[in-house]
Amino acid sequence: MPQPTPRDFSQIETWVFDLDNTLYPPALDLWHQIDARMRDFISGFLKLAPEEAFKLQKHYYRTYGTSLRGLMIEHGLAPEEFIEYVHDIDRSKLVPNPALGAAIKKLAGKKLVLTNGSCAHANAVLAGLGIADAFHGVHDIVAANFAPKPDPAAYHAFLGAHGVEAARAAMFEDLARNLEVPHALGMTTVLVLPGGAEPVIREHWESEGRDAAHVDHVTDDLVSFLARITSATSR
């Protein structure tokens, strides 16, 4: 069966970007710091050995969209302490990326961040990249009432909160599974893959889905990809 024609960007008026491993390369290792702090938190919270805590963390991540959601559902965790703890990381490897900021600013319309992380973490990352002024807002896990991507409730909450028409929006994500619901809602979807030669450690399932029907476009160079969009839509 032939693949459907990928959606284009001619009608897009809202540009939605995931944060971690999308707006900066996974090789910067911020996510692995968060990963380790989640393991340590779960180990202390549930009184588990670190290796057992890590297994449970990954099980909840795949099952519920975030480890936090799994802890809330399975163990009644109040989320605030977890969020503050896991995002207390070293972001010094982030350096300004003026080319990315300029490419995002040139997109015609509203630019928003949709993240399973916290607003404080998102703002710190955007500041470190020097691109905070390229965005009109951040929709975080708190704004989503702790329903994470890929839960459909996360996207419906986002669309409603920001008055976004799905058919006139594009979403950029590093996980293909987080693009399935947006595509079903009518959004144009872009999978952002790690670029460069540095190895990136991921769960096997996190690298799946690049050829899925709900992925309209794939890129390993976000700046160049955005520049091509701007060039094509400004003709």
In this structure, the answer to whether residues 101 and 48 fall within a common structural domain is no
Other C-beta atoms lying within 10 Å of the C-beta of residue 112: 20
In this structure, the answer to whether residues 108 and 19 fall within a common structural domain is yes
Span 157-174, pLDDT tens digits: 999 999 999 999 999 999
In this structure, the answer to whether residues 56 and 147 fall within a common structural domain is no
Domain limits at 157? Answer: 14-26+94-233
CB-based burial label for 19 (10 Å; 0-12, 13-18, 19+): buried
Q: Please report which confidence band the pLDDT of residue 204 belongs to, taking 50, 70 and 90 as the band edges.
A: low
Bridge partners for 15 per DSSP: 111, 170
174 and 17 Cβ atoms separated by less than 8 Å: no
Q: What is the mean pLDDT of the chain?
A: 92
**Could you say which of 86, 106, 134 is where a domain stops?**
86
In this structure, the answer to whether residues 80 and 110 fall within a common structural domain is no
In a domain, 191, yes or no: yes
In this structure, the answer to whether residues 52 and 128 fall within a common structural domain is no
Mean pLDDT value across residues 64-89? 95
Write the CATH number for 213: 3.40.50.1000
**In this structure, which amino acid lies at residue 18?**
D
In this structure, the answer to whether residues 75 and 144 fall within a common structural domain is no
Cα 126 to Cα 51: distance, rounded to the nearest angstrom: 32
In a domain, 1, yes or no: no
Question: Per-residue b/e over 80-105, b at no fewer than 16 CB within 10 Å?
Answer: eebbeebbebebeebeebeebbebbe
In a domain, 2, yes or no: no
Q: By C-alpha distance, which of 192, 200, 201 is closest to 224?
A: 192
In this structure, the answer to whether residues 19 and 34 fall within a common structural domain is no
| Domain count within the chain | 2
Query: Is residue 197 pLDDT above 50, yes or no?
Result: no
Q: Please report which confidence band the pLDDT of residue 1 belongs to, taking 50, 70 and 90 as the band edges.
A: very low
Q: Please report which confidence band the pLDDT of residue 234 belongs to, taking 50, 70 and 90 as the band edges.
A: confident
Residue with tokens 């839960």: 151
Query: Is residue 95 pLDDT above 80, yes or no?
Result: yes
In a domain, 136, yes or no: yes
**Could you say which of 38, 69, 86 is where a domain stops?**
86
Cis peptide preceding 150, ω within 30 of 0:
yes
Span 175-186, pLDDT tens digits: 999 999 999 999
One-character DSSP codes across 27-60: GG-HHHHHHHHHHHHHHHHHT--HHHHHHHHHHH
Bridge partners for 17 per DSSP: 113, 172
In this structure, the answer to whether residues 193 and 177 fall within a common structural domain is yes
Write the CATH number for 38: 1.10.150.450
Question: Per-residue b/e over 158-191, b at no fewer than 16 CB within 10 Å?
Answer: bbeebebebeebbbbbbbbbbbbbbbebebbbbb
Span 108-153, pLDDT tens digits: 999 999 999 999 999 999 999 999 999 999 999 999 999 999 999 9
**Could you say which of 86, 105, 127 is where a domain stops?**
86
Total-model pTM: 0.92
Residue 34, token pair as written in the block: 């968060």
In this structure, the answer to whether residues 117 and 43 fall within a common structural domain is no
Looking at residue 205, its pLDDT comes to 56
Q: Please report, rounded to a whole number, the percentage of residues in the chain having pLDDT higher than 70.
A: 93
